[in-house]
Amino acid sequence: MKTATIDELVEDFEFLDAWEDRYRYIIELGDQLEAMPADWKTEENRVQGCVSNVWLVIRTEPGDPPTIHFAADSDSQIVRGLVAILLMLCSGRTAQEILSLDVERLFERLELGKHLSRSRSNGLHSMIARLRKLAEQHAG
């Protein structure tokens, strides 16, 4: 999955007028996620605080500084699309780059808070918190 900037994602969403089309786009992004091996779908890799099952795995690529890559999956199409957006923003970056991203600002600009259920919004915040926690652990 390619990386993207906040502005690129906002531009993609602004191209779509209706929220029905935006939901379809989110689902399409989720369909582009690489399949996660079944043995990675463990309780240890599951994001707590999500109603749907979401698994998130981190791996680092050597470098100075190291680059972080994420693999993720969900059993919900919409949530899988939200995960894909997070990976587009965060995967392939350094820990410091991930920690400095204002992901919440992106979701405000996309107006997702107005169009997601409360449980999905809470799950999204749990996913963001987990990404940051994993990046913090690898920042040293």
The residues that are catalytic are: 50
Cα dihedral across residues 42, 53, 60, 36: positive or negative: positive
- List, in order, residues 6 or more apart from 131 with CB less than 8 Å away: 56, 70, 86, 90, 98, 103
Nearest CA-CA partner of 72 in 61, 63, 59, 60: 59
DSSP 64: S
For residue 61, what are the β-bridge partners? 67
Q: How many helices (H) and strands (E) does the chain have?
A: 7, 2
Q: Are 33 and 81 in contact (CB under 8 A)?
A: no
